[in-house]
Amino acid sequence: MSHQTGIKCNEELQKFFGKCREGHYRVLKVSIKNEQMVLDGWKPKSASWEKDFDLTVPKLISGAQPAFLLYRFDSLKGGTYEWLLISYIPEEAPVREKMIYASTKATLKKEFGSGQIKDELKATSKEDATFNGYQKHKKLVQSPAPLTSAEEELAELKLREKSSIADLVSIDSKHQTMSAVSFPIDQRACPALASFRDGRINYLQFSIVIDKEVIKLEEATAIGVHQLPGRVPDDKARYHLFKFPHSHEGDYLESNIFIYSMPGYNCSIKERMLYSSCKASVVSFIEKELKANVDKKIEIDSGSELTEEFLHDELHPTINLHQPKFEKPKGPPNRGARRIIKPN
């Protein structure tokens, strides 16, 4: 089951992709018209990529009309330039347009060359698609906000209160720890969850640091569904939160999926026990910070299970409304004629 739109780049756009590798163009705009991705504008290089950003990108964006923009950095990788993919899908755009662009992004990356795309930016407003907006995106993804003095004091207080698992279960709910969980939460999880809620990123990964007895935020970034299996370690347990964009019965949906990955007996008994017992409270904390429900909770052994088809079927299982009528099993062969028992 594929959820791609089938929309591909037209011949003119494919040829322009080849010219882009020569380094003459700073940015190009790709729009979807007549069931094709087409070249809808471009700007040449005039200065450094930092200076060119606000001189080029905002001029290619128009109101509520979604678009893709491929913006060239000055850095090289393997002899080719690296690019930023900007998905401009404003909030006021029609739902159908949002669905089409979200479902076509993977095809664009494949035809342009996903290895050349260094970073991605999801913009829902013109302010997001500026140099300042991109810097904010990088800061939120790469460098979560540091703790304030009050937060540091609170974290230290929690660590002092935590003398054993039994003690921590009874900690008052006013403390910012997960209820019924042994360990305090990495404070960096809160701004990362805010970025997830606002759509700037769509993937979070958490781990339990057993020796330090904390829940740690391992990763906060934006990825495609095809990149999700590669995020699952094959020798460590992890919690994952992924916003899965997909279409169902003609509607565009973004579902929050919580994934608990446990690679069988590659992990110690203690690790398996801790991850299993903490799982429900991790979900509770996530929902509290997101102010939204986790739409589906999944347990897996391997990242290879996380295909687009698997996630879609988990969210929207097929229900068979026509169950076969029960048939009485046949009796043993050659049993003879049925006997009639007369009442006394």
Whether residue 76 contacts residue 36, with contact meaning beta carbons closer than 8 Å, is answered with: no
Residue 163 confidence (pLDDT) above 50: no
- Whether 8-141 and 144-315 share one fold: the answer is yes
As given in the structure block, the two tokens for residue 319 are 């229900």
Residue 2 confidence (pLDDT) above 60: no
Beta strand pairing status for 80-88 and 117-123?
A: parallel
As given in the structure block, the two tokens for residue 292 are 């939204």
Q: Which pLDDT band, with edges at 50, 70 and 90, does 164 fall under?
A: very low
Q: Which pLDDT band, with edges at 50, 70 and 90, does 320 fall under?
A: low
Give mean pLDDT, residues 267-294: 86
Whether residue 10 contacts residue 38, with contact meaning beta carbons closer than 8 Å, is answered with: yes
pLDDT digits (tens, 9 = 90+) for 78-106: 888 999 999 999 988 888 888 899 889 98
Q: Tell me the fold of 144-315.
A: Severin (3.40.20)
Q: Which sign, positive or negative, has the C-alpha torsion 108, 111, 114, 118?
A: negative
Residue located via tokens 């290895």: 115
CA distance 185 to 167: 16
305 alpha-carbon distance from chain centroid: 15
Enumerate the H helices of 188-337 as residue ranges.
189-197, 269-290, 308-315
Task: Specify the pTM.
Answer: 0.46
Q: Crossing angle of helices 131-142/49-56, nearest 10°?
A: 120
- Residue 255 DSSP SS3: strand
Give mean pLDDT, residues 250-259: 90
As given in the structure block, the two tokens for residue 225 are 């569904």
Whether residue 163 contacts residue 259, with contact meaning beta carbons closer than 8 Å, is answered with: no
CA distance 161 to 307: 42
Residue 229 confidence (pLDDT) above 90: yes
Whether residue 226 contacts residue 241, with contact meaning beta carbons closer than 8 Å, is answered with: no
pLDDT digits (tens, 9 = 90+) for 133-147: 999 888 877 655 555
CATH H-level, domain 8-141: superfamily: Severin (3.40.20.10)
- What ranges do the domains of the chain cover? 8-141, 144-315
CA distance 74 to 126: 23
Whether residue 191 contacts residue 147, with contact meaning beta carbons closer than 8 Å, is answered with: no
pLDDT of residue 295: 93
Percent of the chain with pLDDT over 70: 79
